[in-house]
Amino acid sequence: MLFTSLVSLFLLASPALAQGDISAAHNLTSLVGTWSSGSRNVVTGPGFANPNNRTFIYPPTAGVSYSFTGDGFFESARYRFNGNATDPHCITGVMVWIHGEYTLNDNSSMTLMPFSDGYQQVQDPCAAESNFIEQYNSSELYQSWRIFQDLQDGYKLHLFQFDGSPVAPLFLVSEEPNMLPTRPLRNDTPSFVAQSLIKTNDAASASWTPGGIVSLASTLLTVAVGAFVL
């Protein structure tokens, strides 16, 4: 794919830019602000997640968003669909919200270290448990990141995951980071981990209807064609 070859080209052309002597490619504009993919419907902040009661506000389309502050905090919001090769009707919808601290490493990678109040909702119409919410607390390593200026869309942030696969290109939607308070927002005790599966089957009907699945299928197709990881 064209994008894949562009990515390889980029990876070859930029051997380990040291973060210490940050190049123009990295700070064409500041990382600080809110970035959102595609139709920009997924945006971090109070319009996406209510960590106090672990609910989500579902955006109209899938996508991904990251916000960064100048003093080392990040927030990330993701809404994606996973296909099922065996049964094309079994599309899984996943919402993920995390926030915490980020580090720009010397080997030009970026590490996200979430506070322990992150959570995800998984909706899988074909699974025994079709809808559940669980804690999400994995730190994430991005192999590299780069900001471009797109003539049409303005500043564009590319993040590459640890395995080199690109996150969908992110566009700057606000220079002011749109984020929830940058501190742990729940007082989780370790016992939550043991009982992290909260059944929310009642809530499922609102956002997971058979009609919805048809439009999910076309969204999935778009995602697949784009070959980006949301």
Ligand X SMILES: *[C@@H]1O[C@H](CO)[C@@H](O)[C@H](O)[C@H]1NC(C)=O
Which residue ranges make up the site for ligand X (CB under 6 A)?
22, 27, 29-30, 50, 52-53, 55, 84, 86-87, 90, 105, 107, 109, 111, 113, 116, 126, 137, 139, 141, 193
Question: Virtual CA dihedral for 103, 106, 107, 113, nearest 10 degrees?
Answer: -10
Which of residues 38 and 75 has its CB atom nearest to ligand X in the complex?
A: 75
State the nearest-atom distance from the C-beta of 225 to ligand X, in Å.
Answer: 20
Considering the complex, state which of residue 38 and residue 167 has its C-beta at the smaller distance from ligand X.
167
Query: Minimal distance in Å, beta carbon 223 to ligand X?
Result: 16
In angstroms, rounded to a whole number, what is the distance separating the alpha carbons of residues 209 and 212?
5
Q: Which residue, 8 or 52, has its beta carbon nearer to ligand X? A: 52
CB of 50 to ligand X, least distance (A): 4
Q: Is 166 helix (H, G, I), strand (E, B) or coil?
A: strand
Q: Which lies closer to ligand X via its Cβ, residue 30 or residue 209?
A: 30
Cβ closest to ligand X, residue 14 vs residue 111: 111
Minimum gap (Å) between residue 2 Cβ and ligand X: 26
Radius of gyration of the chain measured on its C-alpha atoms: 18
Report in angstroms how near the CB of residue 210 gets to ligand X at its nearest.
16
Question: For residue 61, with 0-12 CB atoms within 10 Å meaning exposed, 13-18 middle and 19 or more buried, which class applies?
Answer: middle
User: Residue 173 class from Cβ within 10 Å (0-12 exposed, 13-18 middle, 19+ buried)?
Assistant: middle
The helix/strand count (H/E) of the chain reads as 4, 13
Q: Which residues pair with residue 154 across a beta bridge?
A: 150
